Amino acid sequence: MPNYTWISDIAGDWTTTANWSTDDASPTFPATGDEAIFNGTHNGDCSVDIDLSVDSVTDSGSYTGNLILSNNLSVVGANGFSWTNGTISGAGTLTVYRNCNLAGCTYSADAAQVISIIHDRSTADTFTADQTLTNLVLNDSVLGAEAYNLSGTFTLSGDLTLYRIKIQGTSTVTVQGNMYINNSIGSNVNSSNISITVNGDLYLTDGSIASGTIKVDGDLIAADTWDGGLGVIEWQKAGNETWAPNINIMYPILKFTSARVVTLSADLYCYDIYISAGAEVDLDGNVLRFQTFNVSNIAGTLTHGSSELQTPFQESPML
């Protein structure tokens, strides 16, 4: 695997051979199977001027230049992508297959920029970022390679999408856009140390939440293919509303934590329910079904009228 080290003191293109020092017998620029190194000895900006795939990209923590994603960059090798001091900008997609460390760098990418994690092995790698990013997509490309660790506290100015991936580790994430969960092989949030706040809407398309907490400021939208789980969805949306739950699924643990009235226009089936002081859930004649229920979790108001509380072990035309 040839190593290429950036040696330009002025802004230049990735594909300019003179911008690199290398042990490659036939030097060009870092591409498939190569390692790109930015060691801080030369701090000129580097523009990714064509779509590229490399084995790894690392900085030494002292490089102060700008990696400009004018095009897409894929990092597919075991050493992953580490950018802990310089700047990342541009609108191209950054795709990483292994560890991805952005803690300490300056991230000023275009609002449409996407960081795409495509995991392809059974060992869980880690994504670390203590800052504001744009859009993050977490995916797996090989069945059984779906576990991926998050580490750090960071914000996404765009959306978070989970597809066939299990988030674990310890992390606090704020998603200023929407969050999409789409997974056909099991749980998506797999750690009690994961806390995600979604300022937009949460789309539960396919998958489940085994552990951890997702706090939602917007709408809660679930498809018939959703599998439920034992994790927590804390619905902290403001304003009274009439909500039509999906009657064909089980929701995870639902916490109603904002001071508002949520009136149900359909039956609700969830693993467990919490209602905070000041919050009210009005069943409006509909049925609440659950797998566990503790009256001490109802600090607010549960208005059930003539409806009936059932466990899933009782006969019901829905279950």
Pairing of strands 81-82, 100-101: parallel
Q: Are 103 and 82 in contact (CB under 8 A)?
A: no
Helix (H) / strand (E) containing 214: strand 213-216
> Which of 210, 199, 263 has its CA nearest to residue 237?
199
What is the reported pLDDT for 307?
Answer: 65
**Pair of tokens at residue 222:** 């679930």
The whole-number pLDDT of residue 212 equals 94
Q: What is the pLDDT of residue 183?
A: 78
pLDDT of residue 184: 67
What is the radius of gyration, based on Cα positions, of the chain? 23
Lowest mean pLDDT among 187-191, 249-253, 285-289: 187-191
Taking residues 145-153, report their average pLDDT: 87
Q: What are phi and psi of 291, to 5 degrees?
A: -100, -20
The pLDDT of residue 194 = 94
Per-residue pLDDT tens for 23-34? Answer: 999 999 999 999
- Residue-level pLDDT at 140: 83
Segments of 41-128 assigned E as strands: 46-47, 52-54, 56-59, 66-69, 73-75, 81-82, 87-90, 94-96, 100-101, 106-107, 114-119, 125-128
Instruction: Please state the separation of Cα 221 from the chain's center in Å.
Output: 17
pLDDT band of residue 318 (cuts 50, 70, 90) is: very low
What is the distance between the alpha carbons of residues 22 and 37, in angstroms, rounded to a whole number?
10
Residue 317 has pLDDT above 80, yes or no: no
- pLDDT value of residue 313: 46
Percent residues over pLDDT 90 in the chain: 77
pLDDT of residue 316: 43
What is the rounded average pLDDT of the residues 97-115?
92
Residue 94 β-bridge partners: 73, 115
Domain ranges of the chain: 3-310
Residue 123 has pLDDT above 60, yes or no: yes
Question: Quick check: 280 pLDDT over 70?
Answer: yes
Neighbouring residues of 117: CB distance < 8 A, sequence distance ≥ 6: 95, 96, 97, 100, 127, 136, 137, 138, 139, 148, 165
User: What distance in Å separates the CA atoms of residue 227 and residue 210, rounded to the nearest whole number?
Assistant: 10
Q: What percent of the chain has pLDDT over 70?
A: 94
Average pLDDT over residues 191-212: 94
The whole-number pLDDT of residue 119 equals 87
Measured distance CA(60)–CA(119) in Å, rounded: 24
Beta-bridge mates of residue 195: 172, 213
DSSP 27: -
What is the distance between the alpha carbons of residues 102 and 89, in angstroms, rounded to a whole number?
A: 13
| pLDDT above 80 (res 170) | yes
| Digit-coded pLDDT (tens) for 60-87 | 879 999 999 999 999 999 899 999 999 9
User: What are 204-239's pLDDT values in tens digits?
Assistant: 999 899 999 999 999 999 999 999 899 999 999 999
Task: Please state the separation of Cα 35 from the chain's center in Å.
Answer: 27
